[in-house]
Amino acid sequence: MAYDLYYWPTIQGRGEFVRLALEEAGAGYVDAARRSKAGMATMMKLMQAEQGTPPFAPPFLKAGKLTIGQTANILLYLGGRHGLAPAGEAGRLWVHQLQLTIADLVQEVHDTHHPIGTMLYYDDQRKPAKKRTAEFWDNRAPKFLGYFERLIAGGGGAYLTGRKLSYADLSLFQIVEGLRYAFPKHMKRFERDIPKLVALRDRIAERPNIAAYLASDRRIPFNQDGIFRHYKELDK
Amino acid sequence: MAYDLYYWPTIQGRGEFVRLALEEAGAGYVDAARRSKAGMATMMKLMQAEQGTPPFAPPFLKAGKLTIGQTANILLYLGGRHGLAPAGEAGRLWVHQLQLTIADLVQEVHDTHHPIGTMLYYDDQRKPAKKRTAEFWDNRAPKFLGYFERLIAGGGGAYLTGRKLSYADLSLFQIVEGLRYAFPKHMKRFERDIPKLVALRDRIAERPNIAAYLASDRRIPFNQDGIFRHYKELDK
């Protein structure tokens, strides 16, 4: 089955966690809103539907008759179909739980530059952004990334849940990449504390399907409109 | 099967979304960290485990051999077992998607009073809290609650997904209750725009198991340590 992925066409954003899973799985998909203006119009129309199951926000995935929204929910669906999550209930719930914890981290990263409101400009919230970013690096990043580091260490394998890759590993790759883009100075120091996570990032980058994707123009470069943004004054 | 629910003992918090589902289902459960100091100690120990599947944060549920963390993930598990979600894949994913959107809203409500950091006192972030709260009522609350209002209208039934109750309905009850506690003035005005959501809240409150729960001391009262907090200066 070929999928239609709907996401904002100019950023990696939350859509990227889905793209990485689709690419690793070698699944056929169309990045619909990127492909054409008609795709973008369809995306907006699907969200505004008065009936049925309109998603609240992108990303969402059309898979046959299903329209699935919320990043972690899409990955729950794809994981089972493409061998990117354990088949049993316990393992499936565990990987999903990890993905939801990653989603919480993603929100906190976003809020470093937009602590007051998504609808406002960064320039209108620079002072609180500075405070929130300090909080992030003092408390939140160590807590979240330390947790994942501990899991990799405890599992004794190459990946988050042990010897087998899951979609949560792909998402952690994106977390490390994104933090390196947004906070190169912070990360340079901080990576000493998370060697296993960095090694995981490297293993993912070397996987053939991921390497091919990263080298392609299907991978949108990081930029200043996404979740991970680089502001010099926030990276000291 | 009797469950052990682990959550901070003095607040409703995110644990409340799980409690409401367990109560509606009439499921046997122990609110472990509330029941005893030993329960609280077990909760901390489970989170700090170096091996296995330690949750990042409460709430989490012990269900036989499973330990399930992340509120929406717990509800995904309980929904299938207690008739609080559709049995088919499409319906199950849809209700989970709605719950994840509710989780996003919960985070935004929390951040109205803590926009800079969870580890800081409210008094250290009063000014940004005021701005974030204004943003919330100008943009975010209308967007989220308007979305759920539209879904109830479009489904044509008494509940979010039509004629059958799901755990997402129970969570929306909690959202309305919480917003009434935190922002009585804002809600008084705003409820005119969400009549179907308010009617849904009333229907949930009248369900026998929920009514019995709300009247019991198992329901912790709203207070100033939870997600929904009342600060006069934020409710003008």
Task: Report pLDDT for A236.
Answer: 86
The confidence band for B39, taking pLDDT boundaries of 50, 70 and 90, is very high
pLDDT surpassing 80 at residue B1: no
To test the contact with chain A by mutation, choose from B6, B65, B70 the residue with the greatest count of A C-beta atoms within 10 A, namely B70
User: Which chain A residues are Cβ-neighbours of B100 within 8 angstroms?
Assistant: 70, 72-73, 100
- For A159-186, the pLDDT digits (tens) are 999 889 999 999 999 999 999 999 999 9
- For A10-51, the pLDDT digits (tens) are 999 999 999 999 999 999 999 999 999 999 999 999 999 988
Task: Report pLDDT for B30.
Answer: 97
Give how far B216 is from chain A: nearest CA, Å: 31
For A57, residues 6+ apart whose C-beta sits below 8 A from its C-beta are A47, A69, B101
Task: Report pLDDT for B51.
Answer: 87
User: Taking CB atoms and an 8 Å limit, are B100 and A153 in contact across chains?
Assistant: no
Task: Report pLDDT for A68.
Answer: 98
How far, in Å, CA of A72 to CA of A62, rounded? 15
Task: Report pLDDT for B105.
Answer: 98
Task: Report pLDDT for B76.
Answer: 98
Task: Report pLDDT for B119.
Answer: 87
Task: Report pLDDT for B7.
Answer: 98
Residue of A nearest to B105 (CA): A56
Q: Are A39 and B67 in contact (CB under 8 A)?
A: no
**Structural domain tally of chain A?**
1
Long-range contacts, stretch B174-178, CB < 8 angstroms, 24+ apart: B174/B12, B174/B16, B174/B17, B174/B20, B175/B102, B175/B105, B175/B106, B175/B109, B175/B145, B176/B200, B176/B201, B177/B201, B177/B222, B178/B12, B178/B109, B178/B222, B178/B226, B178/B227, B178/B228
How far, in Å, CA of B127 to CA of B162, rounded? 42
User: Taking CB atoms and an 8 Å limit, are A147 and B51 in contact across chains?
Assistant: no
User: Which chain B residues are Cβ-neighbours of A69 within 8 angstroms?
Assistant: 97, 101
Strands A66-69 and A60-63: antiparallel
Say how many C-beta atoms besides its own lie within 10 A of residue B214's C-beta.
16
Percent of chain B clearing pLDDT 70 (strictly above)? 100
Residue B161 in domain: yes
For A44, residues 6+ apart whose C-beta sits below 8 A from its C-beta are none
Give how far B154 is from chain A: nearest CA, Å: 5
A67 SS3 class: strand
User: Which chain B residues are Cβ-neighbours of A120 within 8 angstroms?
Assistant: 135
Residue A82 in domain: no
Task: Report pLDDT for A171.
Answer: 98
Residue A102: which H helix or E strand, with range? helix A89-113
Q: Are A51 and A57 in contact (CB under 8 A)?
A: no
Task: Report pLDDT for A57.
Answer: 98
Residue A60: which H helix or E strand, with range? strand A60-63
Residues 56-75 of A with CB under 8 A from B: 56-57, 65-66, 68-70, 72-73
For residue B139, what is the domain's CATH number?
1.20.1050.10
How far, in Å, CA of B219 to CA of B216, rounded? 6
Q: Name which of A66, A100, A125 is nearest B72 (Cβ-Cβ).
A: A100
The confidence band for B90, taking pLDDT boundaries of 50, 70 and 90, is very high
- For B113-139, the pLDDT digits (tens) are 999 998 899 999 999 999 999 999 999
Residue B47 in domain: no
Does residue A4 sit at the B interface (CB-CB below 8 Å)? Answer: no
* Helices (H) then strands (E): counts for chain B: 11, 4
Residue of A nearest to B116 (CA): A132
Domain assignment of residue B161, given as a range: 89-207
pLDDT surpassing 90 at residue B91: yes
Using 50 as the pLDDT threshold, list the residues of chain A that sit under it: none
> Helix %, strand %, coil % for chain B, to 5?
60, 5, 30
Instruction: Read off the DSSP letter of residue A2.
Output: -
How far, in Å, CA of B181 to CA of B219, rounded? 15
Residues 90-109 of A with CB under 8 A from B: 90, 93-94, 96-97, 100-101, 104, 107
Closest among A14, A200, A202, A230 to A104, alpha carbons compared:
A14
How far, in Å, CA of B59 to CA of B171, rounded? 15
User: Taking CB atoms and an 8 Å limit, are B128 and A111 in contact across chains?
Assistant: no
Residue of B nearest to A150 (CA): B50
User: Which chain B residues are Cβ-neighbours of A77 within 8 angstroms?
Assistant: 93
Q: Predicted ipTM?
A: 0.97
* Tokens of residue B20, six digits: 């409401």
Residue B56 in domain: no
* Tokens of residue A51, six digits: 């009936």
Does residue B226 sit at the A interface (CB-CB below 8 Å)? Answer: no
Average pLDDT over residues B63-90: 97
- For B40-55, the pLDDT digits (tens) are 999 999 999 988 899 9
Residue A4 in domain: no
B47 SS3 class: helix
| Residue A1 or residue B84, greater confidence | B84
Residue of B nearest to A129 (CA): B116
